[in-house]
């Protein structure tokens, strides 16, 4: 990633996203934003904060509740050379527009034999933990990573949020940008200290397809992403006192997936726990198991472990939801089991 | 309509308002100092319907046991007007095992099979489901009707179109209700909808379309009666758009800066005091009666809140139940 | 419209018909004895447009370089009428490296960025995409228009509704074309659509809606001209439904038993001989000219088929190219 | 599975599906069929052959092209006690109705705390191999198996097609029933000998959630499903001559997944190849790797192998499509590699 000399200040992930979009809008008149409540409201989860005031209704466009309509329109605009940044308010709403996303946005470049490009960013809020129940709390990144033709990025902190947004907007391919509501640093949600951090004011990119070693360790590898990175780092600090050295891999991108970084860490520690706020089966946790088992199952000194939502919809009541989310307590317990 | 009808409509509106005013209070009570949507006895999103009571009571006044309603993310007024048990509903909102859904659903996902009531947090998606309920009612040879409710913002979602065509094509006993409260979160109707009355969209399906202005419960009662009768007597679906008002935020915590000066007009647009005045002028209501209705409502609400708070919370293990029947 | 216009319309219709008649032949040529949809030089589904040429030529006559079309699963007539290169298109249908998409797309997924032409096999999904192209044209300050084409069956898909509202709301230069050929595979219009004219649905978006009966190319030309001019001059979208006829099966291999006696009426409903007669009566066409037009078309078609057959096939490795730019 | 004494005859998978539906329609007046071209046409891939003639337009209903509309209507009808069998013509069209499928059909029972049942079958054609290109050739079973609340069955032969259809209709939960076009035994597609087989005339069930050992072997386990079972069996026969003994597991159901049968076979052979016509990453192949690695990575005497569509859309031209599908040649080569 490009480094920078300018002084840094601490901002939220939400602000960092909006700042990344704003920088690209100043730089390239073809960039514009579309979505529900992205205008004066600034995005329900702050992803377009202050953009409307600077760029106006022509470039920050509130849409009807017609996701198939405006995502399809984003595709058409991208095909004609614009660079739309389209917000799907919650990823949970994918079902009303999945055809445009996966049969069109994702496939046009390939179907056209490379003659048509679809340079578009589709951003959506993911995740639970605040009792928004079954239709507003999912992550679903495994669903999108399974379907070819879309790059999928999932930043976990303000620095990556800005850098990956700029990379996504400059990318000539459709990029799905998933941000966790609990990691946005919103004043009206549970405060998460890692959602506010130092972010350079000027422009920089974080490359798509590169995982980050969020914390080095030698005993166990936690492969994770998004808000679970925060929890995993908390657990790693706590377990250090118990003499367990945890390495935390923040995948940051799912498509392309940084297989090398994952394998290098597992080769080093010999123990792996995948922490995933998406559903357990047929998703990310399985993919990580597969790349390890394909490479060399004997890398694993202990059985593979995964901690994810146990294949039930996200329930409403706090004890129910906390019971199925990958909380710090469950992460710590899983690591201890792995070491036992 | 009789004086009795009118007083029922009034009582129901007050009952719903007192309920939501109390939920409002309880919802915010324990979220501060650092306001957190996920904190407190009632966590999560909360969409209240204050101002929209006339739509619910005007429509539900014509429904009988066995008629179905699919409501959207803003469901309380229709749930209560349709007879959903206030205590079980409240316990659900508090996430208790005694709740309608044992705490799994929450306020956007209330399911009451006894009253054929359900709601969904996904815009307009209750419209097709209501068509299926109506199809079942028709196949079983009953005269039951299904009422599908959504906001004006939902009328631009594809499901709206598919459901209306299907219901018209199959002559299903459905009443499609649109609550036009001028706003879809922060997006005004003028920024979402190409026309001024969704009733005009009924033309595209060859069904009756009516728009009721001014949020007047009696006019809504009349228009809904015609639509329900039509469905019940086998003459097919209708579209009923009700111009109403959202007195509070889209969800609790919504600062509503986007509404600007309109905020100052809301008090005088509150349909309940307005209707009380009208009934007083007609000599059908007086201040004692007004106080009594409010007191009865508050008592029922107190009992429901108490029931909810006294009910047990589910455990983590319960979360693994009910994936499959 | 001038005599020149009329002859152009005729020539284009013949050109398209001769092309598809030849594709029909080639498609079936090597699939027997045990007919197999996946066998032969042209494998896969094949949706031909014989009978619907008037819609394509009547609309495309008004388009200029830079105007866009999104077509559905039945795209050949609009592709050819819009200027897509016949050789590259044919090579694509034969799955060759010289094809529009180097063999990756096939007949339902033809992409020609030069002519801003694309199609999709998913019903009605080209409607929103055309809105986005129109949005881009408008933002760039050009006077280009986007034409979205779909069948009458597609008009009951949610995307139709969302796209029309969006285009009307944003005053986009789009012409929405519905080809009503009475059938959606085996489902007749009466079993899919609650009303008799989709033009009536334009009311729901506050835009002009016109239905042209009888599959007459000159009437289509006139109606399309008005819609394209309206879009080009910044007055916004329109909906144009064209009542046409599907002379052949939904796809090749469709036995069409469901059409019953209607099958016997098809020959006399073929718009091309009909139009030839009309032009002859007007003294604008004679048998020599008819033969010449056919001969020219056949020569172009022969060349295209030859080019395709002579072109190299892609290799397995090529399948891994073009996932990402 | 319940066995039967009646004489058997050989019918196609398509006919077996329709027969299963017909038997249930005679038995239970609440069962009815909805979908595009399911009436007089009999279903584009023959799944409702002859049903219209017997049961008429009241119980075999052609719908408009409104998948959100009629699948949603199926849900509403099921909630009121009917038992709809709804056809989505191609699974590739899921994107226009995914919300009804995954936010409603799949979640209502759970969200309601068990008080509402959605007894509905959603059947859809899957698969490629006949040049129907990117929007009409996908399998996508991994996508649906990842999302909780739907049972997913994928029969590979006429006997299972009938028995699983009857089980699906009688199940009180939503069941997604995926059938491969190439395995239907259609006269207008490539003839596949295993698509015509002996099927009892009377009613029987095949339990949902039980895999079948389609062929016993001792050297290598192929875990697969649907049309790839046919190919794998062909390969197993061929490799027997080379002295390689291949066990073929036909999963038949993905949700619930028969983990025990898979693990038992892998424990026996120590070598596993997953053959999957769905996309490779974040799907079925990963899930199989995960259940093995969770259980005991040392079960694997050779690295885990998977053969699936290599994360590109399905291309049109025959050499391209054959290049990415799990053909007999590729299956055989993968098995030989595993044994090398
Ligand atoms: C498909 C879908 N898109 C977006 C949302 C987010 N959302 C929830 S409520 C709402 C506004 C709805 O407006 P309207 O239909 O007018 O109902 P109101 O809130 O005014 O009662 C939106 C956009 C959603 N829940 N579902
Ligand atoms: C969303 C979707 N549903 C169903 C299909 C399958 N299908 C392909 S063409 C067709 C009929 C289309 O009818 P119409 O829109 O009238 O066009 P026509 O074929 O008559 O030209 C159907 C149902 C599809 N491709 N996409
Ligand atoms: Mg509203
Ligand atoms: Mg048609």
DSSP string, A36-54: TT-STT--TTSTTTTHHHH
Of all protein residues, whose CA lies closest to atom 13 belonging to ligand 2?
C184
pLDDT over threshold 80, residue D2 = no
CA D307 to mean position of chain CA atoms: 18
* Nearest beta carbon to residue B44 from set A132, A190, A324: A132
Closest ligand by atom to D36 CA? 2
C-alpha span between B299 and D48 (Å, rounded): 57
Q: Is the pLDDT of residue B302 over 80?
A: yes
Ligand 2 touching residue C123 (CB < 6 A): yes
Phi/psi at A194 (nearest 5 deg)?
A: -80, 5
Kindly report the protein residue whose alpha carbon is nearest to atom 19 of ligand 1. Answer: B184
Contact C105 D316 (CB under 8 A): yes
pLDDT value, residue A289: 98
D297:A296 CB<8 A:
no
Whether the CB of C78 sits within 6 Å of ligand 2 = no
The region that residue C182 occupies, defined by phi over 0 for left and psi between -120 and 50 for alpha, beta otherwise, is left
pLDDT digits (tens, 9 = 90+) for D110-156: 999 999 999 999 999 999 999 999 999 999 999 999 999 999 999 99
pLDDT at position A5 is: 60
174-193 in chain A: CB under 8 A from chain B:
187-191
Looking up tokens 């970084």 gives A261
Q: SS3 for B30?
A: coil
In whole angstroms, what is the distance from residue A122 CA to residue A34 CA?
Answer: 10
pLDDT at D8: 75
Using a 6 Å cutoff on CB, does residue B285 contact ligand 1? no
DSSP-derived pairing of the beta strands D246-250 and D253-255: unpaired
Closest CA to A44 of A69, A32, A25, A62: A62
Cα B159-D138-D15 angle, rounded to 5 deg: 90
Between chains, do C156 and D65 touch, taking CB under 8 Å as contact? yes
Give the distance from residue C184's alpha carbon to the nearest chain B alpha carbon, in angstroms. Answer: 15
Chain segment C269-318, per-residue pLDDT in tens: 999 999 999 999 999 999 999 999 999 999 999 999 999 999 999 999 99
Residues of chain B in contact with residue C156, where contact means CB-CB under 8 angstroms, are 161-162, 165
Least CA distance to D148: which residue of chain B?
B323
* Contact flag C200-B195 (C-beta cutoff 8 Å): no
| Contact of A70 with A106, CB cutoff 8 Å | no
Nearest ligand 2 atom to alpha carbon C73: 9
Ligand 2 contacts CB of residue D87 (under 6 A): no
* pLDDT tens-place string over residues D54-106: 999 999 999 999 999 999 999 999 999 999 999 999 999 999 999 999 999 99
D247 touches chain C (CB under 8 A): no
Which one of C162, C169, C204 has the shortest CB-CB distance to B203?
C204
Residue pair A76/C130 in contact (Cβ under 8 Å)? The answer is yes
At B194-237, the pLDDT tens digits run 999 999 999 999 999 999 999 999 999 999 999 999 999 999 99
Name residues whose C-beta falls within 8 Å of residue A112's C-beta, 6 or more positions apart in sequence.
Answer: C100, C101, C104, C105, C109, C111, C113, C118, C322
The whole-angstrom distance between D281's CA and the closest CA on chain A is: 5
Reported confidence tier of residue C33, pLDDT bands at 50, 70, 90 = confident
Residue entry with tokens 């979360």: B319
Q: Rounded to an integer, what distance in angstroms lies between the CA atom of residue A139 and that of residue A131?
A: 14
Concatenating the DSSP letter of every residue in B43-105 gives -S-----TT-HHHHHHHHTT--TT-EEEE-S--HHHHHHTT--HHHHHHHHTT-TTSTTTTSS
Task: Enumerate the H helices of D196-277 as residue ranges.
Answer: 227-241, 259-269
Tell me the two tokens of residue D215: 């062929």
A255 lines ligand 1 (CB under 6 A): no
Burial class for C113, CB neighbours closer than 10 Å (0-12, 13-18, 19+): middle
Number of inter-chain CB pairs under 8 A, A vs B: 155
| A104 annotated active-site | no
Q: How confident is the model at residue A44 (pLDDT cuts 50, 70, 90)?
A: very high
- Work out the end-to-end distance of chain C between its first and last CA atoms, rounded to an integer number of angstroms: 45
DSSP conformational letter for D94: G
Distances (CA, A) of C177 to C66, C144, C220, C237: 18, 16, 11, 11
Per-residue burial over B72-94, b if 16 or more Cβ lie within 10 Å, else e, is bbbbbbbbbbbbbbbbbbbbbbb
The predicted model scores a pTM of 0.98
Q: How far apart are CA D251 and CA D155, in angstroms?
A: 9
Cβ(D8) – ligand 2 distance below 6 Å: no
Catalytic residue among D136, D180, D230, D231: D136
Task: Output the pLDDT for position A249.
Answer: 98
Confidence tier at B33 by pLDDT (50, 70, 90): confident
Cα A278 to middle of ligand 4, angstroms: 41
Ligand nearest to the CA of B155: 1
Given this model, what pLDDT does residue D3 score? 54
Query: Closest-CA residue in chain D for B160?
Result: D69
Q: What is the mean pLDDT of residues B300-306?
A: 98
Which subunits count as partners of chain C given 3+ CB pairs below 8 Å?
A, B, D
Closest of C238, A74, C162 to residue D96, by C-alpha:
C162
| Interface contact flag, D80 B116, Cβ < 8 Å | yes
Cα angle vertex D314, ends D310, D318, to 5°? Answer: 105
- Chain C, chain D: beta-carbon pairs less than 8 Å apart: 155
Reported as a pLDDT band with limits 50, 70 and 90, residue C203 is very high
């Amino acid at each position: 990633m490009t480094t920078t000399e300018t002084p840094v200040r601490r901002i939220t992930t939400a602000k960092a996203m909006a700042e990344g979009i704003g920088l690209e809008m100043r730089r390239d008149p073809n960039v514009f934003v579309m979505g529900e409540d992205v205008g004066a409201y600034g995005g329900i989860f702050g992803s377009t904060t202050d953009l409307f005031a600077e760029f106006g209704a022509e470039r920050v466009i509130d849409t009807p509740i017609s996701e198939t309509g405006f995502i399809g329109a984003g595709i058409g605009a991208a095909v004609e050379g614009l660079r739309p940044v389209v917000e799907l308010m919650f990823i949970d709403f994918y079902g009303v527009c999945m055809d445009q996303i996966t049969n069109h946005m994702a496939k046009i470049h390939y179907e056209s034999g490379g003659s048509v490009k679809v340079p578009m960013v589709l951003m959506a809020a993911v995740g639970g933990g605040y009792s928004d129940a079954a239709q507003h709390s999912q992550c679903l990144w495994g669903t999108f990573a399974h379907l070819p033709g879309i790059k999928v990025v999932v930043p976990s902190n303000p620095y990556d949020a800005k850098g990956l947004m700029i990379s996504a907007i400059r990318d000539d391919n459709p990029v799905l940008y998933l941000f966790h509501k609990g990691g946005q640093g919103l004043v009206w949600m549970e405060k998460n200290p890692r959602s506010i951090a130092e972010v350079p004011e000027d422009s920089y990119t974080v490359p798509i397809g590169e995982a980050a070693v969020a914390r080095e360790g030698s005993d166990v590898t936690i492969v994770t992403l998004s808000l679970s990175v925060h929890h995993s780092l908390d657990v790693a600090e706590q377990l250090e006192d118990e003499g367990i050295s945890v390495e935390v891999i923040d995948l940051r991108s799912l498509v392309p997936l940084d297989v090398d970084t994952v394998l290098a860490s597992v080769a080093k520690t010999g123990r792996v726990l995948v922490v995933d706020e998406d559903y357990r089966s047929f998703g990310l946790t399985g993919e990580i198991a597969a790349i390890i088992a394909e490479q060399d199952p004997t890398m694993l000194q202990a059985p593979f472990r995964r901690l994810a939502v146990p294949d039930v919809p996200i329930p409403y009541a706090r004890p129910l939801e906390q019971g199925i989310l990958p909380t710090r307590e469950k992460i710590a317990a899983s690591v201890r089991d792995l070491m036992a | 309509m009789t004086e009795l009808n009118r007083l029922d409509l009034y009582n129901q509106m007050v009952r719903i308002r007192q309920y939501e005013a109390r939920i409002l209070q309880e919802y915010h009570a324990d979220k501060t100092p650092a306001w957190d949507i996920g904190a407190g006895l009632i966590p999560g999103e909360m969409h209240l319907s204050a101002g929209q009571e006339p739509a619910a009571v005007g429509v539900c006044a014509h429904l009988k046991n066995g008629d179905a309603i699919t409501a959207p993310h803003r469901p309380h007024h229709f749930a209560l007007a349709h007879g959903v048990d206030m205590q079980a509903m409240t316990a659900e909102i508090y996430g208790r095992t005694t709740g309608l859904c044992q705490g799994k659903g929450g306020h956007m996902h209330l399911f009451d099979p006894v009253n054929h009531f359900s709601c969904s947090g996904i815009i307009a998606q209750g419209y097709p489901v209501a068509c299926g309920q109506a199809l079942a009612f028709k196949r079983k040879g009953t005269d039951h009707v299904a009422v599908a409710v959504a906001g004006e913002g939902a009328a631009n979602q594809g499901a709206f179109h598919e459901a209306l065509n299907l219901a018209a094509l199959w002559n299903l006993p459905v009443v499609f209700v649109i609550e036009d409260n001028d706003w879809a979160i922060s997006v005004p109707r003028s920024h979402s909808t190409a026309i001024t009355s969704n009733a005009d969209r009924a033309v595209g399906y060859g069904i009756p379309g009516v728009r009721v202005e001014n949020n007047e419960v009696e006019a809504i009662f009349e228009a809904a009666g015609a639509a329900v009768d039509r469905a019940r007597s086998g003459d097919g679906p209708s579209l009923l758009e009700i111009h109403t008002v959202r007195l509070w935020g889209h969800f609790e915590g919504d600062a509503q800066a986007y509404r600007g000066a309109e905020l100052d007009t809301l008090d005088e647009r509150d349909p309940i005091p307005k209707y009380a005045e009208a009934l007083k002028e007609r000599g059908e209501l007086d201040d004692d009666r007004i106080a009594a209705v409010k007191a009865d409502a508050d008592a029922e609400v107190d009992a429901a809140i108490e029931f909810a708070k006294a009910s047990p919370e589910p455990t983590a293990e319960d979360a693994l139940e009910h994936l499959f029947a």
